[in-house]
Structure 1
């Protein structure tokens, strides 16, 4: 089995793509050190952990973004975007709408693809390829609700230039890399 990086750092880059998206902005991974991670399959054989696909949403409201305090074991007590795992057959936009509704009770509109990040968290044995989207509220009068209090300590709007601390690791990485989810036009 190929070694997996023990520590990762994310650096911003831009890559042209001939896929459905005209310009795919990505984050590259710089590797430091080597480590091997294995898990057991149902038949007892060792196999590498399988990456999952996640979708996270920069829900924008003026110059603010919606963040919630995580209560799950991965990233406990950090601030993160609404989002979750992509279900079989679901588009990124469908997943974004479903996850935001399930977590905050909000309906979203004008969902747009922004970038993809490759999150490898060796200590937690988690590898998630995360699709980052941006959206706005379908109805500006909506107020976020904490629909899943066992997973989130509550949702608040934060000014992009005054984000709370600590941020969830992958979000902190993109912010530190200079990523900006707001439209430039």
Structure 2
């Protein structure tokens, strides 16, 4: 209670997200966010891990919900721990990053959640659009490359 008014306690807790580097040739699938966190930045498809899901299931579900695309082989890449203090609503995310190929390489992404994204497109890794969503920007700046090397081809999770 503060000044005779009952204040709602806000407990900030970390959330778990899964993001998918969907690869096609030397391009990656990105969409421009419409969100309270990272609005108007380019980001990977992904979302919150649901109870009982493994990372691959979450990535496949989110990819299909957002783009209509069916995920093929996928594998774990890395994890980030990001605290967003500058956003209108502070948030803390642990994000699992997967890399994946499409079940059918001829699929075309659709924008199935226009309230969350302005649209999806393929971007050459060496010519990424700006601005990137902060966790992705940080990875790119560090020299991270989501593409498998010849000696380490894509394997499933």
Q: TM-score range by the shorter chain?
A: 0.7 to 0.9
In structure 2, the partner of 1:89 is 52
Residue 169 in structure 1 maps to residue 150 in structure 2: no
Question: Shift in Å at residue 51 of structure 1?
Answer: 0.1
What SS class does the counterpart of residue 145 from structure 2 fall into? coil
Question: Shift in Å at residue 122 of structure 1?
Answer: 1.1
CA distance in 2, matches of 1:45, 1:82: 33
Which shows bigger deviation, 117-126 or 127-136?
A: 117-126
CA distance in 2, matches of 1:88, 1:106: 22
Residue 153 in structure 1 maps to residue 118 in structure 2: yes
Question: Shift in Å at residue 123 of structure 1?
Answer: 2.2
In structure 2, the partner of 1:108 is 71
In structure 2, the partner of 1:71 is 34
Question: Shift in Å at residue 140 of structure 1?
Answer: 0.9
Please give the TM-score of this superposition, normalised by the length of structure 1.
0.74
CA distance in 2, matches of 1:47, 1:70: 25
Deviation digits for residues 82-134 of structure 1, max 9, x if unmatched?
00000000000000000000000000111100000001111231100000000
In structure 2, the partner of 1:56 is 19
In structure 2, the partner of 1:120 is 83
Q: How many residue pairs align between the two structures?
A: 143
> Runs ≥4 in structure 1, deviation > 2 angstroms?
43-48
Please give the TM-score of this superposition, normalised by the length of structure 2.
0.87
What SS class does the counterpart of residue 110 from structure 2 fall into? coil
2:61 is aligned, of 85, 88, 98, to 98
Question: Shift in Å at residue 49 of structure 1?
Answer: 1.1
The unaligned stretches of length 5 or more in structure 1 are 1-42
RMSD: 1.4
The unaligned stretches of length 5 or more in structure 2 are 1-5, 151-157
CA distance in 1, matches of 2:142, 2:11: 29
